[in-house]
Amino acid sequence: MKMAFLFSALLACAPLAARAADTGAPLRFVLIPKTVHPWFDKVNTGAHAAADLLARLTGRRIEIEYRAPQTADVSSQNDIIERAVATHPDGLILDLLDEKGNHATMQEAVDEKVPMTVFDSLPPEGMDVTAVGADFCEQGTIAAQRLASLIGGKGEVAIMMGVPTAPNHSLRAQCERTAFAKYPGITVVATGIDNDSIETAQKQAAAVMQAHPDLAGWVACDASGPVGIGQAIRESGRTGKVREVGLDNLNDMIQLIHDGVADSSASSRPEMQGYWAVVAAWQRALGQKTPKYIDTGIDVLTRKNI
């Protein structure tokens, strides 16, 4: 239904788009993710796909400038947002590290009349910004419930936190705990922190499995964590004994599912988030009203559908 609505909105904008084509100058959108990461490369791919499609339909070129902070740090991201605002793009597409910490900088963009769209995060309260993304809590809950059913609703499980200061990682962890709490036979015996690093996740997971030989399964809170967990499971020779439900759709994650190390992955759709973020940014650049929230949904990736 949402898709149908959005597609209708897109068609409704066609006359505007045709008018925009007359102006000739390319539209320039700056895409600023949380940090440099393969997940955001997929978002960038989706953004370019939308830009190419809109350019073909309207005859007006759309440029996507990808500006990723080297570290997932709010002040670093704010610096990059400010520098991007200084170039007066036709739109900013942001994945906010912390909507409250980013608020002052986003207000500067508002003051400079630069339209904004956010993805994979929620905008600051009271700011007229379209948010594109999936529900983090739902994603964590889906992963935890799937693991619970895989282990028959009983046993020891562990949660690999991503970056403890990242709100979306914390929210997934919290919802995973809530989901496990509904199963009296399941105990969360360990929580690792991987700081969104596959290597760290691998070391942490190996140590946790040493300390808890009866561990039945893992869930994670970021994209790197489940890859490291899978490597640790494989190296310890406990494939099939320790079950894993991962997150997102990095190539390594898909390979782990294909190899049978991980059962599945609750994956948001990064390409789709990038795609619809550009569509929303394009409409805002043309002065159109856009939806408050565009839900791109969650896939459960298994061996059957990857």
- By beta-carbon proximity to another protein, the closer residue of 23 and 70 is 70
CB of 168 to another protein, least distance (A): 12
Segment near another protein (CB under 8 A); pick from 74-82, 212-220, 243-251, 294-302 = 74-82
Among 3, 11, 57, 86, which residue interacts with another protein (rule: CB under 8 A)?
Answer: 86
Phi, psi dihedrals of residue 129, rounded to the nearest 5°: -135, 135
Question: Interface with another protein includes 163 (CB under 8 A)?
Answer: yes
- By beta-carbon proximity to another protein, the closer residue of 79 and 128 is 79
Question: Interface with another protein includes 88 (CB under 8 A)?
Answer: yes
DSSP string of 212-250, one letter each residue: -TTEEEEEESSSSHHHHHHHHHHHTT-BTTBEEEEES--
Give Cβ neighbours of residue 261 (< 8 Å, ≥ 6 apart).
Answer: 230, 233, 234, 239, 244
CB of 96 to another protein, least distance (A): 12
CA distance 33 to 196: 14
CB of 65 to another protein, least distance (A): 5
Given a contact cutoff of 8 angstroms between Cβ atoms, the answer to whether 78 and 103 are in contact is no
CB of 280 to another protein, least distance (A): 22
Question: Interface with another protein includes 78 (CB under 8 A)?
Answer: yes
Question: Interface with another protein includes 70 (CB under 8 A)?
Answer: yes
CA distance 190 to 170: 15
Among 49, 150, 170, 239, which residue interacts with another protein (rule: CB under 8 A)?
Answer: 170
CB of 80 to another protein, least distance (A): 6
Q: Is the dihedral of CA 82, 87, 90, 94 positive or negative?
A: negative
CB of 79 to another protein, least distance (A): 5
Task: Give the residue from 13, 7, 87, 25 showing the smallest Cα distance to 62.
Answer: 25
Q: Interface mask (CB under 8 A) for another protein, residues 129-158, using x and -?
A: ------------------------------
DSSP string of 3-57, one letter each residue: HHHHHHHHHHTHHHHHHHHHH-SPEEEEEE-SSS-HHHHHHHHHHHHHHHHHHHH
Question: Interface with another protein includes 26 (CB under 8 A)?
Answer: no
The continuous run of DSSP H or E covering 113 comes out as: none
Question: Interface with another protein includes 178 (CB under 8 A)?
Answer: no
Going by the DSSP 8-state scheme, the letter that residue 63 receives in this structure is: E
Binding interface with another protein (CB under 8 A): 36, 65-68, 70-76, 78-80, 82-88, 98, 100-101, 103-104, 112, 161, 163-165, 167, 170
